[in-house]
């Protein structure tokens, strides 16, 4: 209901505030490093140039050539981020769709819920990423390309929050509205689309925000041990090997990974704003 003029102000202010918060975090980092190096802090870990590079060095590293006469590190990492984003996005869409369908199916029958819900919950205790290479190789032997296999891993992490939250959302429909629908002799299908699905939207979006992050995690970690070199996970494994020589590369990569995660999250949060006008914040 705020007028245009009133919305621009807060947007600018919150952007300014974000910069401020970021600056404070960097300052804390630098201060800890400064003190740590002089006081020779050894606990919980030794503070030095290797464990805690300067913030400006980490960022600066992005604008150094990645290798002699090669492209800038940031170009390399942006390419890698795009590759990982593709895996994550495909995994996200796949996982979210599957999660949504599972929820719709389970919402139709208590028996199905009793039969499958425990396994859906238990599935999250399976550290699937620990067998990422097995999955990638296994799917590869069925003719699935590497990045698609990674997308499937990302989907595995994505589907769960969506399935659980959507189910809860579908069941959250106002009982009185349900009774009303029944009094119209509305079909299951009508009730589902007219009542349950709209009621579930805020729940779905709060799950999608969680899933956005999960899909990035799935993509990065899925790549890492699977010798897929083109993405951020590959870059992390690669730079990790040279950490003692050049710690700033790994840090720079992780900064990009963090930025990618936050971007994904913000995209979904933005979509939520558009779709669910006034989502009750308490279903997050």
Partner 1 sequence: MSTVVQPVPRSFGRTIGRRFRDWLPALVVFVLVLVAWQGLVEVFNIRQFLLPKPTAILGALRDNRSDLWSAGIVTFKEALGGFAMGSTAAILVALVLARWRRVGGAIMPYAIAANAVPIIAFAPITNNWFGLLNPMSKMVIAAVLCFFPVFVNTLRGLTSVEPASIELMRSYAAGEIETFRRVRIPNALPFIFTGLKVASVLAMIGAVVGEYFGGPLDALGVVIQNNVALFDFPLAWAGIIVASAFGIAFYAAVAVAEHFLTGWQPAADSRSD
Please report, as ranges, the residues that interact with partner 1 according to CB under 8 A. 14, 17-18, 21, 44-45, 50-51, 111-112, 114-119, 122, 124-131, 133-135, 137-139, 141, 168, 209, 212-213, 216-217, 220-221, 224-225, 232-233, 236-237, 240, 243-244, 247, 250-251, 254, 257-258, 260-262, 264-266, 282, 284
Comparing CB distances to partner 1, the nearer of 128 and 279 is 128
Q: How far is the CB of 122 from partner 1 (least distance, A)?
A: 6
Annotate 62-98 with b (16+ C-beta within 10 A) or e (fewer): bebebeeeeeebbebbbebbebbbbbbbbbbebbbeb
Torsion sign (Cα): 270, 275, 278, 284: negative
Distance CA(3)–CA(110), nearest Å, equals 47
Distance between CA atoms of residues 129 and 220, nearest Å = 10
Comparing CB distances to partner 1, the nearer of 8 and 130 is 130
In the complex with partner 1, which residue's Cβ is closer, 149 or 195? 149
Q: Which residues pair with 65 in a beta bridge?
A: 72
- In the complex, least distance from residue 193 CB atom to partner 1, rounded to whole angstroms: 26
Q: Is 193 left (phi over 0), alpha (psi -120 to 50) or beta?
A: alpha
Q: Which is nearer to partner 1, 202 or 233 (CB)?
A: 233
Query: Measured from the CB atom, is 197 or 220 closer to partner 1?
Result: 220
Closer residue to partner 1 in complex, CB, 66/215: 215
Question: Smallest distance from the beta carbon of 236 to partner 1, in angstroms?
Answer: 6
Least distance (Å) between residue 17 CB and partner 1 = 7
Supply the minimum distance, in Å, between the C-beta of residue 271 and partner 1.
14
Check if the beta carbon of residue 222 is closer than 8 Å to that of residue 270: no
Query: Closest approach of Cβ 275 to partner 1, in Å?
Result: 18
């Amino acid at each position: 209901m705020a007028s245009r003029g009133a919305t621009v102000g807060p947007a600018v202010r919150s952007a300014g505030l974000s910069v401020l918060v970021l600056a404070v975090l960097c300052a804390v980092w630098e201060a800890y490093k400064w003190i740590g190096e002089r006081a020779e802090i050894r606990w919980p870990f030794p503070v030095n140039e290797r464990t805690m590079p300067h913030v400006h060095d980490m960022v600066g590293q992005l604008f150094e050539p990645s290798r002699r006469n090669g492209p800038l590190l940031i170009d390399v990492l942006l390419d890698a981020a795009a590759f990982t984003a593709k895996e994550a996005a495909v995994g996200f869409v796949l996982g979210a769709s599957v999660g949504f369908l599972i929820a719709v199916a389970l919402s139709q029958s208590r028996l199905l819920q009793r039969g499958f819900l425990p396994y859906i919950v238990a599935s999250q205790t399976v550290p699937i990423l620990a067998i990422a290479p097995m999955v990638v190789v296994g799917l590869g032997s069925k003719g699935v390309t590497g990045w698609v296999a990674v997308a499937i891993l990302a989907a595995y992490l994505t589907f769960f929050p969506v399935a659980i939250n959507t189910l809860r959302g579908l069941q959250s429909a106002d009982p009185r509205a349900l009774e009303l629908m029944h009094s119209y002799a509305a079909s299951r299908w009508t009730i589902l689309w007219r009542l349950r699905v709209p009621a579930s939207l805020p729940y779905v979006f709060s799950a999608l925000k969680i899933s956005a992050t999960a899909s990035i995690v799935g993509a990065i970690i899925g790549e890492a041990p699977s010798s897929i070199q083109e993405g951020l996970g590959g870059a992390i494994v690669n730079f990790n090997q040279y950490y003692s020589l050049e710690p700033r590369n790994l840090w720079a990569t992780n900064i990009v990974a963090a930025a990618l995660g936050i971007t994904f999250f913000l995209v979904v949060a933005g979509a939520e704003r558009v779709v669910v006008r006034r989502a009750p914040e308490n279903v997050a």
